[in-house]
Structure 1
């Protein structure tokens, strides 16, 4: 069936675009908190998170570095697993304490990022990922991390 063949050929590129957009959005959260750009850290009115402040500064560094690695496709599975874990931690320690459902507790972004990065940790980077000496890998049916 031709539509199935087209979908299979497009899959690595669709996954790559998903990886790049997700990583870029995540890294922008970290950049805002670490550098005070893009409106600054949430709730800081344009400021930054104090260096070393647990857990916020560490979360911001994971967002910035992990998101950048995911965008580039460098160590995607490992970076995505760490990013997923950090968002799961945020959900269970911050959001779940106020209500069960993400819609009620403001934890939708944390929950979505946790699941999106878990998907990337299991599927790998898809096409257009930098790996091994900076070579760009083309989409294939089997992608190493």
Structure 2
């Protein structure tokens, strides 16, 4: 499999993930807002996060669609998914109540399964960064 094809596949998987989760949060806005308001550590920032997170996910998906912005999309995917994963681990270790503010079918995963799911996508994002960075460095300068 060529590096470009693998980069395209990884990008498509992340685009699907971010469009799905971002749209799920926006379509079920009231539930998402309520759950964020109950969420440990971020209650104060919930009014901003309730809009910034789903819009950020959709913007990242858009960046991943275009070759010129794909590397930035992979970096942002890595950052956001790593942040989600650390937040989940912190909540599991430090909080007695953990509301699920996940979008769509992801809300049906156990917390451990959700962490594994996130780690898989962090790894896919990392591979995307490495592949796309290597592709860009191999291209002749204009």
Q: TM-score, normalised by structure 1?
A: 0.58
Structure-2 separation of matches of 1:87 and 1:56: 17
Distance 1:44 1:76, change over 3 A: same
Could you say if the C-alpha distance between residues 106 and 98 of structure 1 is closer, same or farther in structure 2, counting changes exceeding 3 Å? same
What corresponds to 1:123 in structure 2?
131
Name the one with the larger strand percent: 1
Match in the other structure for 1:107: 115
Give the 4+ runs in structure 1 shifted more than 4 A.
Answer: none
Structure 1 residues without counterparts, runs of 5 or longer: 1-6, 127-138
Number of residue pairs matched?
116
Flag the 1:121–1:56 CA change in 2: closer, same or farther, 3 A. farther
Q: TM-score, normalised by structure 2?
A: 0.59
Over the aligned positions, Cα root-mean-square deviation in angstroms equals 3.9
Which structure has more relative contact order (CA 8 Å, sep 6+)? It is 2
2:3 match: 11
Task: Identify the match of residue 20 of structure 2 among 21, 28, 38.
Answer: 28
Higher helix share: 2
